[in-house]
Structure 1
């Protein structure tokens, strides 16, 4: 009996030790006061399911989180995303492609990120191949809470292993800024209660495009902006809400809904959607619903959802997929 008790006690201790390891929290601090000095070093070392807390500081590094490191929680230690900045300055012309220009690439499913800034501070000159991604969200069931994503052209990318990928990402209480196609890709992204800021390019006629969706035509859901605020310091009527992207000649059909959001005066009121190359915006699935603000309006060039249609285009519907995922509550 005593031997059995000893075995049971040892097993219990082993179980507790394993549970503790599986629920481990490690810290990143540039000054060496944490477990690791860089986020990439922490990612390389930890197991799936680990929480990584990042101390206040600016971390100039390129980070890639592989798919195998699933269910990580990455959080800024102060709760203020401006205090924890992950930044690099690479553009497509430096790395060979838009995708590889990303400051941070997150391929892992189930990842949650809180209170962190992703930044690509490449200095735009107006030359070609200056796409510079701050965050490439390339995994399914990812949540970004109270984050900032900063850049110019191609700031935030949602991607996957194929042109028919349907990876889902949920951004809430966040801030995204850029100028040209700065929210783009083929995934399903939901932005809730977030600020979408268009930077001025100094033009009196065209200061860029918010979205460039490349949604698979068989995917009902692309990008949704729900109860967001669209802001800018650009001239009035000089920014498009989006244009349809067909990467490598794919027959994708962009899908974007902006609903119950406040649109600033920078948004083109007569026609907020436009073509990309030979792909016409009228072939895309662009819709609005119950928007307000100086940039809002209704006309033949601004397709609107009816109330009954709007019930199909909610954060919950976009994110549910086939597994019923519901981070939006």
Structure 2
């Protein structure tokens, strides 16, 4: 299947498809709750590979209701610098309560936290939320195999960097590494993560080692894991074990040039789906190119499908797809819709279905070889059955890890005043807000405001705000707002007739470039209407002025943006003025103006007195004149000052019944 002509839409949004050889998936997110949406696929928007058009379709659905969460701070905070409740993740887990039935949310500030970590069976519902995936690293270097150098060998329960025994655990924005495998790019087994419990979910995490990076549960027929938008890195059997595991839009990173294996499953007979890789990307790391097997069968009756997988540049799957021999006969080893880096279907004609394994006696001697076949391909209908809903959702429980991982919207319209008080628009479905200064978490808030009590005037600061859901999932950070080394930035706006007189001052300036005057009709979307050059370096009060000669009828919102020479900026609070302007019409001629004389024709509803003012484009008033208009339609003229040079200017007429601006060109 491929793209045809015409837009495929979800409501007003145009969707972008992820194309496999036979299917297309249209990802979407951030829909409003309790809202109806219509999906429209026009005739010809999709075609088969021969160009035959799909007839199109349209359908409507309504999203679910969702209640606003209770506003609540994190249950615990981990920080290496001592600014939290604990300095180690191990201690925070150790102090968490047992037998929870709702999430115990632990926030981890950026830092590297070392040692063996374990979440015991009696501590379900622990949610570990990292400040950032690259900044929060949980690391250890234990081995679960013999390196030949006499290093201690640990059982996987003690060897993995993080072991999750409990149910209902959720991780987000964390890197889990086994430093031995990741740094040495060599075996033996060195696990970063081992998840045993049911209903485990992980979002935007990074698992990295070399051999046996991630071990999933393999003692339960019904255990489910959900891995979303995460990166898993290794070379040999680096995802192995059992359970129904749905890998949703993940990145599989190969750090060995040739001969590696992505999976080595061991699914018990009766496992419903096994490993399902949906819309994943396979990339390379620290090697020039990659040739890799999708996997090999470890034990029992392995099940693995790769659906709509994309290979990055210089990444290749061996033509046979899977390695034929290890320790079992797989039930299903198949890939469907695999494409190369150009989006072209990969040739799967040589994918194997015949497998074998050796039976050995107690001395390791081969006594026989078992052979068998596995399902090696999927029909369109079979591939469609490996959906998130089928693999993860279960009748009888409410576990929906996509909902758990759903972050609130990005906070918008962040502002800061001279007292370092931050404000922003409230975000729906938010438990609390996280505030960072220069990428360091400095505080949390239950409302849409926060005052930085530790800030001092005269320093550069960059602030960002994130919203956290009831489960801890973090939104994208707000657009940064910056504070310059400028003190005492004050701002005042007042009406002067039908104009806005804006005045601001600074107590000191350091490396300040200029000021931008910004106006908005709604208090949210601002445009720059003028600039003023800053003094730049000053230890005394400096005052600046600007006149908005063309405010709109209704509300006008103003703020001043102070911009540093290196591009950083600070903003004043917003001032609002309301104008009730009755619009009259006038024309000016000739335009361009010659001989410094301007003629006006004014149409008003009655006779009036008008004031004519000439402004430069940056708001400086250059000339003022007055005229009495004794009739509703009148003509009059003025002479421009001869010292006004050639250029473009604004002429404003204002009075009881007029408030109009025209642009003129003086030649």
Q: Structure 1 40/237 Cα, relative in aligned 2: closer, same or farther at 3 Å? A: closer
1:319 maps to 392
Q: How does 1:145-294 map to 2 (within 5 A)?
A: 145-160=203-218, 162=219, 164-200=220-256, 205-206=258-259, 208-233=260-285, 234=287, 238-246=291-299, 252-264=300-312, 265-280=314-329, 283-293=330-340
Q: Helix, strand or coil: the match of 2:80? A: coil
1:125 Cα offset (Å) = 7.7
1:84 & 1:32 partners in 2: Cα distance? 15
* Displacement over 4 Å in runs of 4+: 123-127, 233-237
1:85 and 2:158 are equivalent in the alignment = no
Matched, 1:72 2:126: yes
What per-residue deviation string (whole Å, max 9, x for no partner) do you get for residues 275-328 of structure 1? Answer: 343535xx4311112121169322141632111111211122111245354324
Counterpart of 2:392 in 1: which secondary structure? helix
Native 8 Å contact 1:180 1:210 kept in 2:
yes
Question: After the TM superposition, which residues 103-122 of structure 1 pair with which residues of structure 2 at under 5 Å, given as runs?
Answer: 103-122=161-180
Structure 1's 141 and 42: CA in aligned 2 closer, same or farther, altered over 3 A?
Answer: same
SS in 2 for 1:87: strand
Counterpart for residue 30 of structure 1: 80
| Greater fraction strand | 2
- Distance in 2, Cα, partners of 1:293 & 1:316: 27
CA distance 1:138–1:181, shift in 2 (3 Å) = same
Deviations 1:101-140 (A, max 9, x none): 100011111111110110001155856xx20110111111
Q: What is the CA deviation profile of residues 73-110 of structure 1, one whole-angstrom value per residue up to 9, with x for unaligned ones? A: 1101x2x2010000000111424323421000111111
The one-character-per-residue Cα deviations of 1:6-63 (angstroms, maximum 9, x if unpaired) are xxxxxxxxxxxxx999x85110111211111111111111123311000110011211
In 2, Cα distance between equivalents of 1:299 and 1:278: 25
Distance 1:24 1:55 in 2: 12
Distance, in Å, in 1 between the alignment partners of 2:400 and 2:336 is 22
Rounded Cα–Cα distance in structure 1 between residues aligned with 2:106 and 2:79: 11
Is there any run of 5+ residues in structure 2 with no aligned partner, and where? 1-69, 146-151, 353-375, 404-667
Distance 1:125 1:262 in 2: 24
Identify which of structures 1 and 2 has the higher relative contact order when contacts are C-alpha pairs closer than 8 Å and 6+ apart: 1
Contact 2:212 2:239 in 1 (8 A): yes
Instruction: Give the Cα separation in 2 of the matches to 1:20 and 1:67.
Output: 28
- SS of 1:309's equivalent? helix
Counterpart of 2:193? 135
CA distance in 2, matches of 1:24, 1:328: 21
Note if contact 1:223-1:256 (Cα within 8 Å) is conserved in structure 2.
Answer: yes
Q: What's the offset of the Cα at 1:237?
A: 6.2
Report deviation, 1:165.
3.8
**In the superposition, relative to structure 1, how do residues 277 and 193 fare at CA in structure 2: closer, same or farther (>3 Å)?**
closer
TM-score, length-normalised on structure 2? 0.42
* Separation (CA, whole Å) in 2 of partners of 1:63 and 1:318: 28
Q: CA deviation at 1:241?
A: 0.5
Number of the residue aligned with 1:13: none
- With normalisation by structure 1, the TM-score equals 0.82
CA-based RMSD: 2.4
2: CA distance between counterparts of 1:118 and 1:37? 17
Give the corresponding residue for 2:348. Answer: 298
Match of 1:63 among 117, 122, 126: 117
Deviation at 1:173, TM superposition (A): 1.0
Distance change in 2, residues 1:285/1:83 (3 Å): same
| SS of match in other structure, 1:75 | strand
CA contact (8 A) 1:40 1:63 kept: yes
Q: Give the aligned length.
A: 293
CA distance in 1 between counterparts of 2:84 and 2:290 reads 48
